[in-house]
């Protein structure tokens, strides 16, 4: 079915607003995927904080021209879908990688993360990275560790001082008890 000129302009504007503005995007090839599988994929992508759209290649190329996704222009051939996010690219990569393992009819073509091209083989490596929240937690733990150790050392000094004073008191009591006996 042919698209009208107005509909094509709408699609290009929609692609420009979503795809071209996204800092992280994954291009997927799909062939022989069923509607329930695509529905499941859309659901997983949404849970990961992303969006999923099947694109018309010629219109998508117009929309992404000059943007970060423009570097992936050679990969816009054949059936193409784009999963993109403005949030955590690792969470989306994990969701897509898990789904690709379950449905081999879907394959990665390439990706753009923070404006950098990523080959299809490297997407698996990205999916194995810890999520942003985990990295922040580890960083905070590393920053907090020396401070908490310092506080423990400072807390130990008065405790040790009290133990020494108590031992001196006991020794004096023993000495005074020995003198009186």
pLDDT in tens, 140-164: 888 877 777 777 777 777 778 788 8
Distances (CA, A) of 6 to 11, 62, 136, 142: 9, 15, 46, 56
Residue after which a domain boundary falls, among 113, 129, 145: 129
Tell me the CATH number at 78: 3.30.70.1730
Residue 1 confidence (pLDDT): 55
- Asked if residue 19 lies in contact with residue 53, where contact means CB atoms within 8 angstroms, the answer is yes
pLDDT in tens, 16-28: 777 777 888 898 9
% of the chain surpassing 70 pLDDT: 98
Statement to judge: residues 81 and 170 lie in one domain: no
pLDDT in tens, 89-102: 888 888 999 998 98
Which pTM value belongs to this model? 0.69
Statement to judge: residues 121 and 135 lie in one domain: no
Strands 50-55 and 80-85: antiparallel
For the cut 70, the answer to whether the pLDDT of residue 181 exceeds it is no
Give the residue numbers spanning the domain of 107: 5-129
Residue 114 DSSP SS3: coil
- Asked if residue 49 lies in contact with residue 88, where contact means CB atoms within 8 angstroms, the answer is yes
Residue 114, both tokens: 């923070």
């Amino acid at each position: 079915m042919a698209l009208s000129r107005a509909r094509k302009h709408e699609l290009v504007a929609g692609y420009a607003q979503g795809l071209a503005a996204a800092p992280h995007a994954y291009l997927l090839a799909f062939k022989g995927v069923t509607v329930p599988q695509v529905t499941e994929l859309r659901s997983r992508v949404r849970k990961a904080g992303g969006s999923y759209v099947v694109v018309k290649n010629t219109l998508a190329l117009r929309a992404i021209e000059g943007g970060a996704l423009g570097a992936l222009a050679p990969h816009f051939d054949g059936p193409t879908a784009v999963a993109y996010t403005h949030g955590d690219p690792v969470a989306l990569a994990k969701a897509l990688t898990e789904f690709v393992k379950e449905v081999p009819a879907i394959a990665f073509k390439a990706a753009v993360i923070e404006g950098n091209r990523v080959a299809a083989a490297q997407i698996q490596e990205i999916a194995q990275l810890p999520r942003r929240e985990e990295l922040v937690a580890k960083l905070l733990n590393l920053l907090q560790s020396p401070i908490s150790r310092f506080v423990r050392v400072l807390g130990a000094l008065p405790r040790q001082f009290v133990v020494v004073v108590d031992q001196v008191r006991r020794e004096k009591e023993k000495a005074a008890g020995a003198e009186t006996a």
